Chain A
């Protein structure tokens, strides 16, 4: 990959609407679709506020929420506004997150026509009981139909999102799921271990003791299985939860988050990062719209990262990726070399070309490792 692509900023749009809330989801989204026009209007205002503040983007990510529920006019209007006020490189990766039940042949063609060149499909599972447990609106049949259509429509960069580690899920169940996904030869797979977040219906059930999370050992097994299985099938395990069928298919947008590359996030609850500063929008459509109608940025909070904070984040984010981190981030730390030795011996880290990267086993404890290299 060229250096240019490594440092160009990305643009993220948060579409905060869903037809219904999934039981595990803690992203900001609303189910009252009548608010959609107001949001679109506000978004246009927000676009104007950031005009000329970022270098040309090479990726645009429409996430949510459920971007696929936008109709042709809404999507076209939005993209038009973005193109008018921001610059994009010609080969910009434009991703749209889609739910299988929204996908029609017409919509796929529309998306293609509007320039979307990457689809991220919220498949989550091919097993009906899983879909019901997760509170998904679609059936496995709908998913399969949608995935077939995606290919027919000519999309050559397809991402499939899956969730695993559901209570009671066996290695066999999960493996079957992966196999079904691979039938569609997705260029990209995100496999997320289910997190029972507080504040979600599933989190509440867990708190009440009505569902029992998988034991740690089973979670480990599923994680290792995923990594091994997908690597055997030609995927690169390039981030803890992400796999791609080649470097060209790494998610351009997401990698910016992991490498401190600037990004602009528009829409409620979206986060932005530029020049060591991070800010985030109101996690409330009301306040978001109010701010914009007052002519001010709908920013709820900002932080300027100190060198130490940047270092900690670089470690944390870097160690989550296949590239790992430059040894220069680690070795000057007190006990850095000792810890490298210990972790290597424990089989959690490996050194290669002046970088330290986690092994599969290391990925499993990635959250605690940065602390060893940061004082």
Chain B
């Protein structure tokens, strides 16, 4: 056990986490040069493209240290986004130490802080690593200062490296061995292992990634998942190299996998404790939380004929993403679809993109919303995550919406613009602090609904990329919530309805109507687009009728050409949705979502 080191790398997006992981893997000779590709732990195309880690991966690196001893370094990769904070916390709970990676040119960002706090909560050894020191704009001294002041860490211990250029990798490895303590625990105690991830294997079912704290587990054992209270027979245990390496046993201190005939990853919970049926641990490991979706949106197939394939795609997708929830939904405009719950907006985008990319689905996604609560006059409390279930206003006593605490770290010169943005987004109880000269940390309490739509993009824009953002869910607060309906020629487009704060209704209504006006092609009759709350119209746009579209000549040679054009238009029409007699292109729904994002 003394030869094991369990660690993770925490960093802000783009600070080079995957590249550093790549180098560690290469340096320890885990992969031959010719097998190597960038971001080797990021197995999904989407991860490579976006340069983010969606599913965490784990790898065991054999390392012959300068002390002549052979070590087993378990690198537990973590997803790098606020949406996945809980997953990150479980991964960190499986470690004894972390490399805190800071970009020498960007410095400390909000996410770095958030992850650092997470690491501190778990009493982990923290090794600051300053990356990208080869860049001309690298400011190593400045970053050291931040590490000292902002993070309260010993900057002299910071390791300088350039993962891209392979500089300082040996120092990083040595520091892991020297500074991170070996795992503690006892093989003799009852099994207690923490699930920090699960992936789906089409032949074997769920593959649980876990850290064994006490005891040991081997094929043939009957394990019990303590929260789920379900028992399974272990088929295989092993550790992760680039592929799974079966082992005879996983014992205290080790990080590896268990395959136990579990059908889907939804049957496992991240953070749950695995123990043995016949000799259970006295209590589960601390920190378990049931992950609940916070962002909701409906997805519909572009063509109603594709509903069945969407059902199958979601079922398959879900095998590998326990965090996604979905249930049937239907819309007069868009037909049959699903109301989905996501961990956050990035999670939403990832699900959408993977369904489209990996499962070939063409989707229309509605404007995302949060889960609201309505206290009715009869005392009942209603939870509503779908505008279609908005209760009759006369029964509503009060509405409530989730609030978050947003933490934003930014260079001081953007403070005014950021405060303005937060106030526009109904931010309250602001707090401003100056961790170092020129840098500001702003915290606001804000409705989650105001943040899930475009907030991060806007923040990035107004701070020219220097602002960073992190949030925690706080509580539910009273809020005057109304349902905004969009009507096209008097017919409600249910898929465009949203629940909004009263003060924001008009603004949304105007923007959505304007956007629809630009996206709906002129038709044979005048089209009125209206935004309404209750019965009251609060915005209106008109699309004038198509006035002339006729070919002058239509003789022998023109007919085929014309028919082909019609066929093309007709194919385009298939991507349109009928609301009453008005054709609304799929693009209009997408555009409305974007509007909301602008």
Contact = CB atoms under 8 A, between A and B. Distances in A.
A339 B569 contact: no
Interface in B217-248: none
B570 A371 contact: yes
A273 interface: yes
Interface in A254-285: 254, 257-258, 263, 265, 269-273, 278, 280
Contact of A271 (B547, B556, B563, B573): B556
Contact of A192 (B553, B563, B570): B553
Interface stretch (A48-56, A116-124, A172-180, A340-348): A340-348
B556 A371 contact: no
B547 A309 contact: no
Given A271-B556, A273-B556, A367 B563 contact: no
A371 B566 contact: yes
A240 B557 contact: no
B556 A270 contact: yes
Contacts of A278: 559-560
Nearest to A63: B555
A194 B574 CA distance: 32
A363 B550 contact: yes
Contact of B560 (A303, A346, A367): A303
B90 to A, nearest CB: 51
A316 interface: yes
B437 interface: no
A365 B560 contact: no
Interface string A189-223: 00011110000000000000000000011011001
A312 B565 CA distance: 11
Contacts of B546: 365, 368
Interface extent on B, as a size class?
A: 20 to 34
Given A254-B555, A348-B524, A364 B548 contact: yes
B49 interface: no
A370 B573 CA distance: 12
A369 interface: yes
Contacts of B545: 346
A370 B554 CA distance: 15
Contacts of B394: none
B552 A195 contact: yes
Contacts of B566: 312, 316, 370-371, 374
Given A335-B578, A342-B525, A371-B570, A280 B552 contact: no
Interface residues of A, number: 51
Contacts of A220: 547-548
A367 B555 contact: no
A21 interface: no
Contacts of A303: 560
B563 A374 contact: no
A273 B563 CA distance: 14
Nearest to B554: A320
B554 A312 contact: no
A223 B548 CA distance: 10
Contacts of A223: 548, 550
Nearest to A240: B550
A241 interface: yes
A257 B553 contact: no
B551 interface: yes
Interface string A294-319: 00000000010000010011001100
B332 interface: no
Nearest to B555: A257
Given A257-B556, A273-B556, A316-B563, A217 B547 contact: yes
A312 B570 contact: yes
Contacts of A374: 566, 570
Contacts of A339: 581
A368 B555 contact: no
B560 A280 contact: yes
Contacts of A192: 552-553
25 contacts: A192-B552, A193-B550, A195-B551, A216-B547, A216-B548, A223-B550, A257-B555, A258-B554, A269-B557, A280-B557, A303-B560, A309-B563, A313-B559, A316-B566, A342-B581, A346-B524, A365-B524, A365-B546, A365-B547, A365-B550, A366-B549, A371-B569, A371-B573, A372-B524, A375-B570
Chain A to chain B: the 6 pairs with minimum beta-carbon distance, closest first: A271-B556, A342-B581, A192-B552, A367-B549, A346-B525, A193-B552
Given A12-B556, A312-B566, 17 more contacts: A192-B553, A217-B547, A219-B548, A273-B556, A280-B560, A313-B559, A316-B562, A316-B566, A335-B578, A342-B581, A346-B525, A364-B547, A366-B550, A367-B551, A368-B546, A368-B549, A369-B524
